[in-house]
């Protein structure tokens, strides 16, 4: 009995150790890393670093978020411009990124998730209805006005909607990963490559094959 208890305690300790090793991005052991975006070879967790002797102030600044994005580029009426190792090389290994979100009048950032990051969103212009769903399927929603902020927990499905039918809305987001990743729920299910088996979508969404094809064609078109 004592041996069994010791094994159980050992397994629990191992589990806590493994959980402690899981984080959005690994901690850096150097002051900074300037992403070597000229290198064609990327390692598993991003590009290699330039020599610190090559660093300059321009590596740590970007104007990528200064101009509105094109909200007509998709059927939902939104644009997201994200800082990356290409437009902000100095953010490599810092475990963060930022995004500018432009939403057309009556536009929607559809339900999506960021598998590697939590997110805090601040409304800069307009009025934005946003919310997320937790793993017990409880919905949390809020309307944001300029200057107000909202947190989306890591990996949970969330959305943003511009309630104004006449004026665009703008928000800025901070994310806890240099590469947060994004999965739009509807596109992942109905417009993947190769496509999800029709019978899976029929059973999951309680619709028939004709409706599956209609939704898939609409999202792919």
Q: Where in the chain is the domain with CATH 2.60.120.10?
A: 52-180
Q: What is the pLDDT of residue 26?
A: 72
d(CA 168, CA 128): 10
Q: Which residue has the higher pLDDT, 27 or 73?
A: 73
Hey, CA dihedral for 171, 176, 177, 178, is it positive or negative? Answer: positive
- Residue 124 is encoded by which pair of tokens? 């800069």
Cβ neighbors of 146 (< 8 A, separation 6 or more) are 123, 124, 125, 126
Q: What is the pLDDT of residue 149?
A: 96
Q: Compute the mean pLDDT over every residue in the chain, rounded to the nearest whole number.
A: 88
Q: Please state the pTM of the whole predicted model.
A: 0.83
Q: Which residue has the higher pLDDT, 30 or 214?
A: 214
Q: Which residue has the higher pLDDT, 207 or 29?
A: 207
**Average of pLDDT values for 8-14?**
55
Q: What is the pLDDT of residue 8?
A: 59
Interval 162-217: pLDDT, tens: 999 999 999 999 999 999 999 999 999 999 999 999 999 999 999 999 999 999 99
User: Does 52-180 carry CATH code 2.60.120.10?
Assistant: yes
Could you tell me if residue 77 is left (phi over 0), alpha (psi between -120 and 50 degrees) or otherwise beta? left
> Residue 108 pLDDT more than 60?
yes
DSSP string, 179-204: S---EEHHHHHHS-SSPPPHHHHHHH
In the sheet that 183-184 helps form, which strands lie side by side, from edge to edge?
139-144, 128-133, 158-162, 108-113, 183-184
Q: What is the pLDDT of residue 40?
A: 58
């Amino acid at each position: 009995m004592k041996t069994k208890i010791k094994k159980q305690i050992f397994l629990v300790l191992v589990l806590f150790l493994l959980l402690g090793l899981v984080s959005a991005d690994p901690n850096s052991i150097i002051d900074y890393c300037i992403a070597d975006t000229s290198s064609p070879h990327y390692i598993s967790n991003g590009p290699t670093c330039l020599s610190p002797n090559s660093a300059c102030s321009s590596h740590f600044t970007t104007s990528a978020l200064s101009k509105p994005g094109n909200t007509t580029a998709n059927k939902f009426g939104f644009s997201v411009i994200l800082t990356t190792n290409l437009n902000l090389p100095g953010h490599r290994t810092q475990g963060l990124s930022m995004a500018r979100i432009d939403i057309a009048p009556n536009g929607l950032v559809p339900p999506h998730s960021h598998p590697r990051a939590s997110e805090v969103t601040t409304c800069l212009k307009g009025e934005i209805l946003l919310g997320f769903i937790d793993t017990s399927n409880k919905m949390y929603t809020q309307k944001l006005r300029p200057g107000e902020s909202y947190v989306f927990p890591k990996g949970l499905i969330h959305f943003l909607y511009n309630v104004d039918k006449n004026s665009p809305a703008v928000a800025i987001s901070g994310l806890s990963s240099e590469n947060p990743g994004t999965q739009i729920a509807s596109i992942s299910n109905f417009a993947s490559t190769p496509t999800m088996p029709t019978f899976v979508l029929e059973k999951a969404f309680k619709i028939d094959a004709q409706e599956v094809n209609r939704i898939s064609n609409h999202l792919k078109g």
